Amino acid sequence: MTAAQPAAPRPDEGDGIIRPAAGPWRVAGRRLLRKRLAVGALALITVFYVVGMFAPILAPSDFREQDLNHTLSGPSWDHPFGTDRLGRDQFSRVIWSARTTIIVTIATVLTGSLILSVGLGMLAGYLGGKVDTVIMRAGEAFGSLPALPMLILINATMRDRVNGWVDNLEGVLSSDEPAFYAILAALTAAAAATLAVWLATRASGRAGGWLALAVTSVGAILVLWGMQAVFAMPGSSDYFLIFGALSLFFWVGGARVIRSQVLALRETEYVTAARSMGAGTGRILFSHLLPNVSPIIIVGVSASLGAIAGSEIALTFLGVGVHDPTPSFGALIFDASSQPVIRNHPHLLIFPAVVVGLLIFGFNLLGDALNDVLTPKAR
């Protein structure tokens, strides 16, 4: 009779030390990395964003520089994507068009898909009653309107007024104005004070509100510097008009989904326990409900990125988006969409159209992969 062999150690125990199980986000990251199409789409989107953000460095020439001696020339070593009818380098204009798409996309996601969609959806689902009624009826009003015609109408009728607002705001936030430094100093002092209070009271377990104020102040400082960077570029009023109009219509669908999830979560035991222990509405929303709906938020944002980029390009193509001299994929495609240009100079249409197609295709692939990884029960 042979002696019983000792059981082999489990792989997660290693040398006998039991390690904690991987968290849900690490597991989701591993699943995502196993999907080759998702990794390829993520790499493509990363390259697009890096190139767009560093356009002033990566662009070989100024997108406004004209060379009337070399108009409508084909691809060459000096001009990889050729030149347009004014002799401007198409490769540089494609790079700067990526920057335009990035600015509009990020601004719309922050305002429409995150601040409005997440904030209003969570408030409607948790508070209910009149708050829910007002938010959802407003969402139904926006959702019942045809999005693209309304975007065209808003951009066509509000442009002059928005230009005046942006000019006034640009004057206040100019680096030459003392008001800008006063606002910046006040926000910095608020961030430092709230962070100090949070460090002093975090042991009590009720310092979450102070940390939220500190994070909000730091975010406001970053927004100020970001707005100043946007104002330094031509066409800044077009950016504000487009992402403002897009944000009015891109929050409705996400808010409805988040509201339905919060309605189910607010009656769970851990939310009831937190409420019975005296936790405030802000703490319950940000500490208990937001982490549980974050997978849905990520999936929704990733799925809306392609639609936002496509809407900006479509508006510019129709003449109510970004205007010259700021380059945009919509303007590049419109300028090259006439029949004589397509017949004689097809490269002017092929290169920007291929870049736009790959970008939107990458967004769709990434959105489908994130949906499979983060919400597997929805498959």
Question: Over the stretch 314-350, which tens digit does the pLDDT of each residue have?
Answer: 888 888 778 777 888 988 998 888 888 888 888 888 9
* Model confidence pTM above 0.85: no
DSSP code of residue 19: P
6: phi > 0 → left, psi -120 to 50 → alpha, else beta; which?
beta
Give the span between the Cα atoms of 213 and 220, in whole angstroms.
10
247-261 tens-digit pLDDT:
888 888 888 889 988
Give Cβ neighbours of residue 325 (< 8 Å, ≥ 6 apart).
Answer: 63, 64, 234, 235
Q: Give the alpha-carbon dihedral of 252, 253, 256, 260, to 10 degrees.
A: -160
pLDDT reported for residue 229: 60
Average per-residue pLDDT for the chain: 79
Least confident of 3-12, 131-140, 266-275, 344-353: 3-12
Please give the average per-residue pLDDT across 296-318, as a whole number. 85
Q: What are phi and psi of 343, to 5 degrees?
A: -75, -40
CA angle 106, 112, 115 (to 5 degrees): 95
Instruction: Walk me through the domains of the chain, giving residue ranges and CATH numbers.
Output: 32-62+78-166+238-378 (1.10.3720.10)
Please give the average per-residue pLDDT across 142-146, as a whole number. 80
- Which parts of 232-323 fold into alpha helices (H)? 236-250, 252-265, 269-276, 281-283, 290-317
Residue 160 — pLDDT band, cuts 50, 70, 90? Answer: confident
Give Cβ neighbours of residue 207 (< 8 Å, ≥ 6 apart).
Answer: 197, 198, 201
Strand ranges for the chain from DSSP E: none
pLDDT reported for residue 59: 87
pLDDT reported for residue 310: 87
